[in-house]
Amino acid sequence: MSTNTAELLKGAAELFPDEVVTQAHVRHLELPGAVGRFALITLDNGFDHTKPTTFGPASLANLNAAIDQVEKEAREGEIVGVGLTGKPFIFAVGADLKGVELLKKHEDALAIGQGGHAVFRRLADLAVPTFAYYNGAAMGGGVEVGLHCTYRTVSQAVPAFGLPEVFLGLVPGWGGCALLPNLIGADRAVSVIVENSLNQNKLLKGPQVYELGIADALFEGADFLEQSLRWTAAVLKGEIEVVRPEVDRDEAWDQAVARGKQIADDKVHGAAPAAYRALDIVAAAKSGDLRAGFDAEDRALADLIMGGELRSGIYAFNLVQKRAKRPAGAPDKSLARPVTKVGVVGAGLMASQLAMLFARRLEVPVVLTDIDQERVDKGVGYVHEEIDKLLLKGRVNQDKANRLKALVTGSLDKATAFADADFVIEAVFEEMSLKQKIFAEVEAVVPEHAILATNTSSLSITEMSSKLKHPERVVGFHFFNPVAILPLLEIVRAERTDDASLATAFSVAKSLKKTAVLVKDAPAFVVNRVLTRFLGEVLRSIDEGTPVDVADRALAPLGLPMSPIVLLELVGPAVAHHVSGTLHSAFPDRFGVSENLGRVVEAGKRNLYVPGSAKPELDPEVEALFQTGDVQLTEEQVRERALDAIAQEVRLMLDEGVVAEAQDIDLCLITGAGWPFHLGGITPYLDREGVSERATGRRFLEPGVASVPA
């Protein structure tokens, strides 16, 4: 067994020469209470905690060799048990995704799954009991290796524990899908494997791992290993009996799987296969036949590794993890000026959310202004309520809540309020002349070095700043509603914006913990331009005569967070109409203005569908307003039209230099519009579906980026 495994892994290691290799050090110790000699395997890649331990093929081979050694010792009666732990702060964070990306053939992908199983399963088959001590972060294969052990302990200090595979486009394929439901029951397993994963990769902390029953014991972080070894000794002596609740194998199992399918449908609408494949294995695991479960995991893993969704998922993961941290085109950060006080003009929907964010993240005084006291009070009141919510949830303590509240004040007098502000952001109505007037007023009262920022969704920043004495200090700072949830911040450089102002904007964005993307001063920037273009095509189909329900279902196979009409309702028909008007003025041949939408706005309707109805149902009043033609397209035709339009618009944006690369457009759509990882934002999807070539004559990304290498 071990020789075959060794050969399998050797072959796989040749495909992945740059692996950061994890060592598996074996040391021996005497367990307390004269229980006997014990072998402890420590996983360590030789780096500090900033480079977490992973499992590539050479790492698995090292663990395999360590198990060879302890297997022999166990067989010969030299040890009473085997433990497995990690380096400080990290247990192990699973398969090395860089290696997964390199796999080109189904059989190689299958070998990776089989290799992991073959090594990990040996921990269950040893002649002595095995113990996993989850001392730090454990994810994916890191969690799974422990599931093969006889017992598990977890540290209170574990900050992150979970199975993020489904989130990325994989299944927990080294035992997770088959073992976890048999350990903690199908319902809890579905929560960990599917629900948490699809919920923006929600991770567990040490105490939750214990409460779920994944670990048999929970110990303080400070002397975790010592306590775990003492517990191990007591278990081996029979002083502690580990009793696990019986797993319910009746209807509860099927209901759990059905619940998981519902969660997957709600999140990805059938558009990405990973969650469904994982649930099929969980369903089959009811029989308790682990061998069959592991085989099913190998097949699912290999299929998914060779599929486009995973490649897009890894690409998207790298964008939000890496590119987001080093924004393309940002000036040298040493040019940034400190910000010690913030002014906010307007106290409406966006402005009050911005005041909350600035106060919470920068912890500097924030002053809100508006046209009357009532609006100002409402804005400040909103922030105070939000802080109270944080207090209730235990996210801040009373002292911090008091301090944050004291930082946010309101004023009707800009001259006094902004006299010592370093950064003033306006979020008043979307009107050029109003914004120009506001900036002129603000410029007259703020210090020389202050930055003037605008949250405009579509207007030209260059024009907005054109009448100022110092247009070089104006930047676009475009947030997305809801501000607390959507991470994106489009930072717009106008024609005369200088490097110091831009550097300050990026430094503020970092302190606000936002994903900043540098964008050229072009109509509607990135997200709104793409959304408006595709929404425009859907509305055009409706205006021409395609039934609303057909047009609205057309994009369903992409698994977007919501349908076009629901998106329109969320943005607000009036705002959407306004933005399409701005884009129509800039690019009349590509952006239409829907007359039917105009009628909806004029009638003051906020919804097109009857609110609260179980199925989308067009409001009869809206239907009465609609005047349509008689050209009826199919869902497929509407989809083709909308996707071609997106591809064309993205190509034009790249040609115009709106952003540095296609990657930035994808990052914007993922973090500003919640577009799914399995699409990789949008360009990997357009490439793999052949839309890019059809609509623009070429791909957006090099072959091999976000796709299987040739």
Binding site for ligand NAD (CB under 6 A): 345-351, 369-371, 375, 427-430, 434, 438, 455-457, 479, 481
Supply the DSSP symbol for 193. Answer: I
Q: Which is nearer to ligand NAD, 115 or 346 (CB)?
A: 346
Q: Which is nearer to ligand NAD, 430 or 495 (CB)?
A: 430
Q: Which is nearer to ligand NAD, 112 or 535 (CB)?
A: 535
Q: Which is nearer to ligand NAD, 283 or 494 (CB)?
A: 494
Report the nearest approach of ligand NAD to the CB of residue 504 (Å). 20
Q: What type of residue sits at position 59?
A: S
Supply the DSSP symbol for 678. Answer: G
Q: Which is nearer to ligand NAD, 425 or 662 (CB)?
A: 425
Tell which residue, 106, 96, 222, 249, has the closest CA to residue 168.
Answer: 96
The CB-nearest residue to ligand NAD is 348
Supply the DSSP symbol for 324. Answer: G
35 alpha carbon, distance to own chain's centre: 47
**Sequence-ordered list of residues with C-beta below 8 angstroms from that of 470, at least 6 positions apart, any chain:** 443, 448
Q: Which is nearer to ligand NAD, 29 or 371 (CB)?
A: 371
How far is the C-alpha of 175 from the C-alpha of 300, rounded, in Å? 12
Structure tokens at 517: 């993307």
Q: Which is nearer to ligand NAD, 32 or 561 (CB)?
A: 561
Structure tokens at 569: 């309702």
Report the nearest approach of ligand NAD to the CB of residue 458 (Å). 7
Report the nearest approach of ligand NAD to the CB of residue 464 (Å). 10
Q: Which is nearer to ligand NAD, 269 or 414 (CB)?
A: 414
Structure tokens at 626: 């609609």
Q: Which bin fits 684, alpha (ψ -120 to 50), beta or left (φ > 0)? A: alpha
Q: At what angle do helices 57-75 and 106-125 cross, to 10 degrees?
A: 30
Q: Which is nearer to ligand NAD, 197 or 457 (CB)?
A: 457
Token pair 């209470």 is at which residue? 33
Report the nearest approach of ligand NAD to the CB of residue 598 (Å). 19
Report the nearest approach of ligand NAD to the CB of residue 420 (Å). 19
How far is the C-alpha of 337 from the C-alpha of 426, rounded, in Å? 19
Longest dimension (CA), the chain: 88
Report the nearest approach of ligand NAD to the CB of residue 364 (Å). 21
Report the nearest approach of ligand NAD to the CB of residue 481 (Å). 3
How far is the C-alpha of 111 from the C-alpha of 12, rounded, in Å? 7
Tell which residue, 574, 507, 169, has the closest CA to residue 332.
Answer: 507
Q: Which is nearer to ligand NAD, 349 or 593 (CB)?
A: 349
Q: How many CB atoms lie within 10 A of CB 113?
A: 23
Report the nearest approach of ligand NAD to the CB of residue 70 (Å). 59
Report the nearest approach of ligand NAD to the CB of residue 477 (Å). 10
Report the nearest approach of ligand NAD to the CB of residue 682 (Å). 20
Asked if 461 and 475 touch (Cβ cutoff 8 Å), the reply is yes
How far is the C-alpha of 487 from the C-alpha of 671, rounded, in Å? 5
How far is the C-alpha of 232 from the C-alpha of 708, rounded, in Å? 45
Q: Which is nearer to ligand NAD, 373 or 634 (CB)?
A: 373
Report the nearest approach of ligand NAD to the CB of residue 427 (Å). 4
How far is the C-alpha of 368 from the C-alpha of 350, rounded, in Å? 12
Tell which residue, 424, 246, 248, 458, has the closest CA to residue 340.
Answer: 424
Q: Which is nearer to ligand NAD, 231 or 477 (CB)?
A: 477
Strands 23-31 and 408-411: unpaired
Q: What type of residue sits at position 547?
A: P
Reported as type and span, the H/E element at residue 349 is: helix 349-362
φ, ψ for residue 299 (rounded to 5)?
Answer: -65, -45
Report the nearest approach of ligand NAD to the CB of residue 531 (Å). 12
Q: Which is nearer to ligand NAD, 84 or 427 (CB)?
A: 427
How far is the C-alpha of 66 from the C-alpha of 526, rounded, in Å? 52
Q: What type of residue sits at position 448?
A: E
Token pair 């040391």 is at which residue? 27
How far is the C-alpha of 547 from the C-alpha of 561, rounded, in Å? 22
Report the nearest approach of ligand NAD to the CB of residue 677 (Å). 23
